[in-house]
Amino acid sequence: MFEIFGIPSTALFGQLLIGLINGSFYALLSLGLAVIFGMLNIINFAHGALYMLGAFTAFLLLHYAGVDYWWALVIVPIVVGIVGVVIERLLLQWLYKLDHLYGLLLTFGLALIIEGMFRNFFGASGRPYQIPELLRGGQNLGFMFLPNYRAWVVFFSAVVCFSTWFLIERTSLGATLRAATENPTLVRAFGINVPRMIMLTYGFGAALAALAGVMAAPIYNVSPQMGSDIIIVVFAVVVIGGMGSILGAVLTGFGLGIIEGLTKVFFPEASNTVVFVIMAIVLLVKPAGLFGRRG
Amino acid sequence: MLNVRTPLLAVNGLEAWYGESHILHGANFNVQEGEVVTLLGRNGAGKTTTLKSIMGIVGRRAGSVRLEGRELINCTSDQIARAGIAFCPEERGIFSSLSVQENLLLPPAVKPGGLPLDQVFELFPNLKDRLAASQGTKLSGGEQQMLAIGRILRTGARLLLLDEPTEGLAPVIIQQIGRTIGALKDKGFTILLVEQNFRFASTVADRYYIMEHGRIVDDFTNSELEANTDKLHAYLGV
């Protein structure tokens, strides 16, 4: 063990790791928000609820069906993705031509309803979700102790973020998505079923949120308000990164997680507000966000 | 002129609205397989709206649009594209978030028999050199126009709707576009063209329709052009 600026290395790197973990979830969630906003023009306030739905679905699958974590990683995003598709078809598709505000209000209402339903059935207290056997324990790196599950979360979310970025920025499917974000009418006039693409995009965003929820279940407790706890910070992340920028959402997510972690070490009193202070500064200096395209 | 053949495109009583404003008031015309037909008319006569109505991208439309006898008036624009019509809009519609290559490959094949890429590059050699450009909108106006036309040739659609392909371009580029339209005709494409540039149109078109206030008011063939020059000038106000 050694010290940096009078701080023991284990504390520093421990907080850095927690920051990286939080950053992983910020990145996954703001990525989904950015994808949804780009395509649907809707600020998806239900994103936190979908994340909670993912965690709860994993919890319920484990306790009532014996489906383990690894299967949950596959099944839950599909289930919640389908929920997303249903939400888009039943509700959101009627709002695209209206102001952003309507989508925001509708998804906010949805979030309240979903959260309320879960609180009604399961109570407000958190429920533990066990770390899968394969990932229990950890490594002593000398300067800090690294729990295996946390290393997995950072690694896996980085893989998911990179894959999503690659899909959107480097494949022909992604090119079609980007084109449809820019000019849906013309893309449709080329023979592409844009409404179906929009529907699947929301489903994909919902699946990403649910995936984050499954990954979060063993770290945070599974509780009905876990979504609303994290979503406010995630919105700040999206504002800082710039709405609609994929890379911006990912980098800002990880970056702010780390900054938050470091603040906990050096000035703990500010750790809950540092993200919002940064948001205020970014809004003043660069209103479109650090990676935003529109000014 | 009596048409014995079924026209490739038959438009009858086409009406179109943008919100409350009624733009087309029953346009009638047709395009035969292999023809280049030009819609002429003053600004605001409804030429662009006619193309957009055929493509199904106006607010509301009524009447009849038939492709090879198949009614398309109740189809969505993606279904219309898949029936075999390709559209090149006036503003060209190059996507800034896509590279030149992605722009070129964006429209999906809707039918077999589209031009292979090397033939597109034969028509537009400049495009091949600019393929690496990161942003489609970084191209010059002429190159963007070539990209906008080039990308719809690959799809297999045999009817091309071109909305003012020469607008804002230098004379030498306009000549190249003119030669391209001739070459496309030789390859068997059917083209419905909207033009303000009457002199350009006269170098490529087989027939003309004149639009006024959302209706077709006159039509003649290229061979009847000289006899109709005065009338045409009166229509176009030149």
Closest Cα in chain A to B82: A191
In a domain, B3, yes or no: no
Q: Which two tokens stand for residue B171?
A: 């004379």
Residue A295: its pLDDT value, please?
36
Q: How far apart are CA A169 and CA A162, in angstroms?
A: 10
Nearest chain B CA: its distance from A244 CA (Å): 12
Nearest chain B CA: its distance from A181 CA (Å): 9
Residue B4: its pLDDT value, please?
61
CB-closest option in B78, B96, B105 to A193: B78
pLDDT at B176 over 60: yes
Closest Cα in chain A to B102: A175
In a domain, B1, yes or no: no
CB-closest option in A175, A191, A192 to B98: A175
- The residue among A17, A256, A254 whose CA lies nearest residue A143 is A17
pLDDT at A294 over 60: no
In a domain, B68, yes or no: yes
Interface contact B81-A183, CB threshold 8 A: no
Residue A1: its pLDDT value, please?
59
- How much is the average pLDDT of A47-66? 97
Residue A152: its pLDDT value, please?
96
- The residue among A210, A254, A259, A257 whose CA lies nearest residue A59 is A210
In a domain, B148, yes or no: yes
- The residue among B106, B66, B101 whose CA lies nearest residue B85 is B66
Under 8 Å between Cβ of A27 and A200:
no
- List, for residues A244-293, the tens digit of each pLDDT value: 788 888 999 999 999 999 999 889 889 889 999 999 999 999 988 888 76
Interface contact B81-A191, CB threshold 8 A: yes
CB-closest option in A187, A189, A194 to B55: A189
Interface contact B89-A178, CB threshold 8 A: no
- List, for residues A110-123, the tens digit of each pLDDT value: 999 999 999 999 99
Query: Partners of A184 in the beta sheet?
Result: none
Query: Exposed, middle or buried: residue B236 (CB in 10 Å: 0-12, 13-18, 19+)?
Result: middle
In a domain, B63, yes or no: yes
Interface contact A189-B95, CB threshold 8 A: no
Residue B95's pLDDT band (cuts 50, 70, 90): very high
Residue A242: its pLDDT value, please?
84
pLDDT at B88 over 80: yes
Residue B31's pLDDT band (cuts 50, 70, 90): very high
Residue B51: its pLDDT value, please?
97
- How much is the average pLDDT of A30-34? 93
Q: Which of B77, B80, B96 to mutate to test the interface with A (most CBs of A within 10 A)?
A: B77
A189 CB neighbours in chain B (<8 A) are: 55-57, 77-78, 80-81, 87
Interface contact B102-A193, CB threshold 8 A: no
pLDDT at B3 over 90: no
Long-range Cβ contact pairs of A91-98 (< 8 A, separation 24 or more): A92/A40, A92/A42, A92/A202, A93/A195, A93/A198, A93/A199, A95/A42, A96/A40, A96/A41, A96/A42, A96/A198
Query: Partners of B24 in the beta sheet?
Result: B16
Under 8 Å between Cβ of B11 and B65:
yes
Residue A78's pLDDT band (cuts 50, 70, 90): very high
Interface contact A172-B102, CB threshold 8 A: yes
Range of the domain at B144: 9-236
In a domain, B34, yes or no: yes
Residue A12: its pLDDT value, please?
86
CB-closest option in A172, A178, A189 to B77: A189
- List, for residues A143-174, the tens digit of each pLDDT value: 888 999 999 999 999 999 999 999 999 999 99
In a domain, B4, yes or no: no
Question: What's the CATH code of the domain at B189?
Answer: 3.40.50.300
pLDDT at A6 over 90: no
- List, for residues A170-182, the tens digit of each pLDDT value: 999 999 999 999 9
Nearest chain A CA: its distance from B47 CA (Å): 18
Interface contact A190-B107, CB threshold 8 A: yes
Interface contact B108-A187, CB threshold 8 A: no
**By a Cβ cutoff of 8 Å, what residues of chain B touch chain A?**
55-57, 76-78, 80-82, 86-87, 89, 93, 95-98, 102, 105-108, 110, 152, 155
- The residue among A151, A136, A155, A122 whose CA lies nearest residue A226 is A122
- The residue among A183, A153, A190 whose CA lies nearest residue A26 is A153
In a domain, B2, yes or no: no
A182 CB neighbours in chain B (<8 A) are: 95-97
A 10 A CB-CB count for B27 gives 27
- List, for residues B34-54, the tens digit of each pLDDT value: 999 999 999 899 999 999 999
Interface contact A172-B105, CB threshold 8 A: yes
Under 8 Å between Cβ of B151 and B106:
yes
Under 8 Å between Cβ of B143 and B127:
yes
B55 CB neighbours in chain A (<8 A) are: 189
Closest Cα in chain A to B110: A191
Q: Which of B91, B106, B153, B162 to mutate to test the interface with A (most CBs of A within 10 A)?
A: B106
Residue B71: its pLDDT value, please?
97
B152 CB neighbours in chain A (<8 A) are: 190
Query: Partners of A119 in the beta sheet?
Result: none
SS3 content of chain A, % helix, strand, coil (to 5): 75, 5, 20
Q: How far apart are CA B78 and CA A185, in angstroms?
A: 9
What pTM was computed for the model? 0.89
CA angle A94, A97, A100 (to 5 degrees): 95
* B94: Cβ contacts below 8 Å, ≥ 6 apart: B103, B136, B137, B139, B144, B147, B148
Q: How far apart are CA A205 and CA A37, in angstroms?
A: 10
How much is the mean pLDDT over chain B?
Answer: 93
**For chain B, how many structural domains are there in total?**
1
Residue B138: its pLDDT value, please?
86
**E strands within B85-179?**
85-88, 159-163
Query: Exposed, middle or buried: residue A121 (CB in 10 Å: 0-12, 13-18, 19+)?
Result: exposed
B95 CB neighbours in chain A (<8 A) are: 178-179, 182-183
